[in-house]
Amino acid sequence: MKIAVLADIHGNFQALQKVAGHVEKWGPDLVFVVGDTINRGPYSKACWQFVRQKRRSDDWRVIRGNHEDYVLNFEEPDAPTNSPKFSILQHVYWNYQQFAPDEIESVQALPYQIEQTVCNKQIIRAVHASMQGIRKGIYPSTSKEDLADKIAPAPHILAVGHTHYPLLRTLDGTLVVNAGSVGLPFDGDTRPSYAQICWQSDHWEAEIIRLHYDHAAAIKDFYQSGYIAGGGHMVRVVLHELITARPQLSHWNRLYAEAVMQGEFSVEEAVERYLAEPNVHKSTY
């Protein structure tokens, strides 16, 4: 039994094509895509169309993450369309606008969790971040006590993403696999990652795979797609995440979101200030 786990594609079609080609050559029995296929990148529509087709043709198992929720929030009648909050979220709205109604419906239909029994009653469960929710992630620094809470009730394998930091950990017989990120790694390594899991001689073995791809073309896609031109000033922060392979949006939000909401800065001013900081590329989780 061979299982591939992909996570956090984030509209990076260049990276998705590279990883999908590698997965196809490896030939897994099951493929899980554990959320955040869309948003925070320039080609969310193309990535979703590709993954949606793989659900039909190759039975890829796909779940919903927090970025699917962020896009779907614009389906709500009270979604912001002209306010400081909207100026912060304009890059999300741009992605929302790319989707046709039937595509939005197919994203809405995604489950938050998939569980399957394989190989002598071995339970594999896929969630986006952890059993505590789609934004409660499992990091390399997560303590054993915290990890125990985040995997309970513990399956044999828990497959996750969300943090963009790949890891393999074992706790009390549960193999925890964080596949990292296909489209937007945050560990300082720009190469996409995904996880390979194999049942070998009555036990599980797992490996994180990193692949070289055309990173420069992925950067150009921000411009060629119209994302930079139409997605608002925060797209520049997202692009900086791709360039540095470090989390920037969360750091920007901690520093500037409240000030923008209070009218102390425009988003444009806050983005300029942030990108001018000498250590911005060193942001960590």
Condensed to tens digits (0 to 9), the pLDDT of residues 229-276 reads 999 999 999 999 999 999 999 999 999 999 999 999 999 999 999 999
CA distances from 171 to 59, 123, 175, 276 (A): 30, 15, 7, 42
The pLDDT-based confidence of 282 (bands split at 50, 70, 90) is low
CA torsion 277-281-283-285 (nearest 10°) is 160
Q: Are 36 and 66 in contact (CB under 8 A)?
A: yes
**Which is it for strands 157-160 and 203-210: parallel, antiparallel or unpaired?**
unpaired
Q: Is the backbone of residue 136 left (phi > 0), alpha (psi -120 to 50) or beta? A: beta
Task: For residues 53-72, give the mean pLDDT.
Answer: 98
Q: Would you mind telling me the total number of residues written for the chain in this entry?
A: 285
- pTM recorded for the entire structure: 0.96
- The yes-or-no verdict on residue 284 having pLDDT over 60 is no
Which domains occur in the chain, in start order?
2-210 (3.60.21.10), 231-282 (no CATH)
Angle at 118 (CA atoms; ends 113, 119), nearest 5 degrees: 155
Tell me if residue 263 falls in helix, strand or coil.
coil
